[in-house]
Amino acid sequence: MNHFDPQSIIDQLRGVLPQQTQMIALHEPYFGGNEWLYVKECLDTGWVSSVGKFVSRFEQDLAAFTEIPYAVATVNGTAALHIALLLAGVTANDEVLTPSLTFIATTNAIAYCHAIPHFVESEERTLGVSPSALADYLQEIAEVKNGVCYNRLSQRPIKALLVMHTFGHPVDLDALAELCARYHLVLIEDAAEALGSYYKGKHVGSVGRLATLSFNGNKTITTGGGGAILTCDPKLAPQAKHLTTTAKVPHPWLFTHDEVGYNYRLPNINAALGCAQLEQLPKFLAAKRQVALRYQAAFAASHTVKFIAEPSESKSNYWLNALLLAPEIAQYRDELLRLSNEQGIMTRPIWTLQHKLAMYQSCPRMRMPIAESLEARVLNIPSSPILGFTQA
């Protein structure tokens, strides 16, 4: 491929993106609704911290939108993951199966529990955990004794499977749930990037025992920071609320705490922002889908670059659009990153595989040729909803 010109890909991106002189961000927030009104109410009334009506409203609105009965707001998505793992019964020295191809928060949350990440393979179709590869691997290394799954090699319990919906594309939840049932694993969904994504007609987070969301500034909607725990389990929801609010026993004035809790509360002022953003979520999702469709059309005829589209039987929120370079041009990835950013189009590579990071290199893992290939070939491209508004 000596004749390949990386600039041609950037020119194709320019055909989709608006013509402007400033940098086109990868993903930026859009504030066009009641954000000022709701935040001003917090300032006018003084209810800016961890108590206030917008926290409860935000939780109720999230539950209504996702059609998952219970939502508990948290200070960020990583905190939500930490609590979800604790509620799943993950304790020190347990192993948690999780993709190596994920953002660091997924893995760090396991470490916060003093548990051990056990890295597994991904698939190209969803960019998430590969059910077929995991099934073969578990048949080789796992055994169930007295209702508990153990790693034959380490003799440690394998307590859970923590999957991640990469860039908003749902993993194959049914196949993974079947594996979890077979091996007595708790399924947890890291849906930090997937608010507004659906698997077989149901919002992600509906299949796992617990799921988590993120509302960081670069997510589909934002509370500035913020996250949430989702569950269908009426027993886990109050436990999640209790643990994230310092495990304080309700009382008009006494400060009594009945277990080790966490100050993971979402401030009311942040929840106010989230309520206003959530009102606009359908508009954001429609705009982002328009951008994705234009990218898909722009690269439809390419033999060297593939637009990563939503998996079959799923509807993605297209949080971050992504291109997959053909193996023969993977060597040009860094040149593409340099040229596009120099020319005002923000792009980035996918994350470094977790098992390559210094603190996780000694963790157990399976062979991951697909994840390693994806790491070298995936490129994220601008995905803000405003790009859909400006060219609708």
**Do both 45 and 111 map to the same domain?**
yes
Q: Is it the case that residue 194 has pLDDT exceeding 70?
A: yes
In three-state secondary structure terms, 127 is: coil
Domain range for residue 346? 7-23+281-390
Q: What is the pLDDT of residues 343-352, one digit of tens each?
A: 999 999 999 9
pLDDT beyond 80 at 75: yes
Distance CA 204, CA 310 (A): 13
Burial class of residue 358 in the structure, from the number of CB atoms within 10 Å of its CB (0-12 exposed, 13-18 middle, 19+ buried): exposed
In a domain, 30, yes or no: no
In whole angstroms, how large is the CA radius of gyration of the chain? 21
Question: Is pLDDT of 392 > 50?
Answer: no
Tens of pLDDT, residue by residue over 234-284, are 999 999 999 999 999 999 999 999 999 999 999 999 999 999 999 999 999
Q: How large is the average pLDDT for residues 108-131?
A: 98
Farthest-apart Cα atoms in the chain, separation: 74
Residues 206 and 313 in one domain: no
Co-location of 298 and 226 in the same domain? no
| Cα dist from 70 to 86, 106, 111, whole Å | 17, 21, 26
In this structure, are 306 and 332 located in the same domain? yes
Per-residue pLDDT at 19 = 86
**Taking the alpha carbons of 320, 28, 351, 363 in that order, is the dihedral positive or negative?**
negative
Average pLDDT, the chain: 96
Each residue's pLDDT tens digit, 207-242:
999 999 999 999 999 999 999 999 999 999 999 999
Model confidence at 21, in pLDDT bands (50, 70, 90)? confident
Together in a domain, 179 and 244: yes
**Predicted local distance difference test score (pLDDT) of residue 2:** 57
* Residues 353-368, mean pLDDT to the nearest whole number: 98
pLDDT, tens digit, 9 for 90 and up, residues 149-179: 999 999 999 999 999 999 999 999 999 999 9
| pLDDT number for residue 33 | 97
Query: Is a pLDDT exceeding 60 seen at residue 195?
Result: yes
Shared-domain flag, residues 167 and 256: yes
> CATH number, domain at 370?
3.90.1150.10
Please give the share of the chain, as a percent, with pLDDT higher than 90: 96
Percent of the chain at pLDDT above 70? 99
Q: Are residues 189 and 286 in the same domain?
A: no
User: In this structure, what token pair is assigned to residue 361?
Assistant: 């290199």
Q: Is residue 68 part of a domain?
A: yes
Pairing of strands 186-190, 158-164: parallel
Domain identity same for 146 and 228: yes
**Which residue among 224, 257, 279 closes a domain?**
279
φ, ψ dihedrals at 24, nearest 5°: -85, 115
Residue pLDDT, tens place only, 309-356:
999 999 999 999 999 999 999 999 999 999 999 999 999 999 999 999
pLDDT attached to residue 1: 47
How many structural domains are present in the chain?
2
Answer yes or no: is 1 within a domain: no
Let me know if residue 80 belongs to a domain. yes
Q: Which of 240, 257, 279 is the last residue of a domain?
A: 279
In a domain, 115, yes or no: yes
User: pLDDT tens digits, residue range 90-99?
Assistant: 999 999 999 9
The CA-CA-CA angle for residues 251, 252, 258, to 5°, reads 20
Q: How confident is the model at residue 390 (pLDDT cuts 50, 70, 90)?
A: low
As given in the structure block, the two tokens for residue 353 are 């595989």
In-domain check, residue 76: yes
Nearest Cα neighbor of 83 from 183, 229, 273 is 229
Q: Kindly state the tokens that stand for 158.
A: 């394998």
Amino acid code (one letter) for 86: L
